[in-house]
Amino acid sequence: MLYRIAFFSSSRQLLQEKELMAILDQFAATVDAFDIKGVFIYLNGSMLQMGEAELDKFEAFIDLLRSDPRQSYITVLSKQPIEHRTFSQKYLFYKTLDAKNFLGLSEVISTVFLPHSPNSSDQEMIKIITDFFRNNYRN
C-alpha cells in the first residue's frame, strides 16, 4: 500500500552550497532506488522531506538516513495511507541557504499541490510545509 510520509531532520552543521549539492546528488540516486516520489526542502540547516512510496520501502529509506552521519533528529511528522500519488515526478528539490528566499514558500506549495485542494491530506502537508518555514526562518 502507498503511504505519504513527512519527516524532519537537521544537518549536523549548516551546509554550504557545495555540501548541499553533494547530499542532494546522493539523495536523488537513493530515492530512485526506493521508488520514492516527493519533495525535499532545505532551510537554515533543517530539512523537510515529504514522499510517497510503499511503506516498507519508505521505512527502509528512513533507516538508511538514520545511519547518515550528516543528519540528526530524524522525526516523522505524518504517515498516511494514500490511494494514489500526489507527487508524479521523481523528487522536487527546493533549497535556500539564507532567509532572503523565504518568499519561496508559495512557490513550493503551488509546485507541489493544486491550489485550493479539497483533499484534507494535501491540506495537512501544506500546513507542515508552512510550519517548517515559519519555525526555521531566521533573519
- CA separation (Å) from 75 to 9, 18, 99, 129, 137? 6, 25, 23, 14, 19
Domains identified in the chain and CATH numbers? 2-136 (3.30.70.100)
Residue 75 burial (C-beta neighbours within 10 Å; 0-12, 13-18, 19+): exposed
Which string of DSSP letters, residue by residue, matches 49-70?
EEEEEEHHHHHHHHHHHHT-TT
- Helix, strand and coil percent figures for the chain, each rounded to 5: 45, 30, 25
Question: Cell numbers at residue 42, please?
Answer: 532545505
Residue 91 has pLDDT above 50, yes or no: yes
Please give the Cα distance from 85 to 6 (Å, whole number).
14
pLDDT tens digits along 34-72: 989 888 888 878 888 888 999 999 899 888 888 888 788
Helix (H) or strand (E) holding 76: strand 71-81
pLDDT tens digits along 103-137: 566 666 666 665 555 566 777 877 887 788 777 76
Grid look-up 519561496 returns: 104
Predicted structure pTM score = 0.77
- What pLDDT shows up at residue 44? 79
Q: Do residues 45 and 14 touch, judged by C-beta distance below 8 A?
A: yes
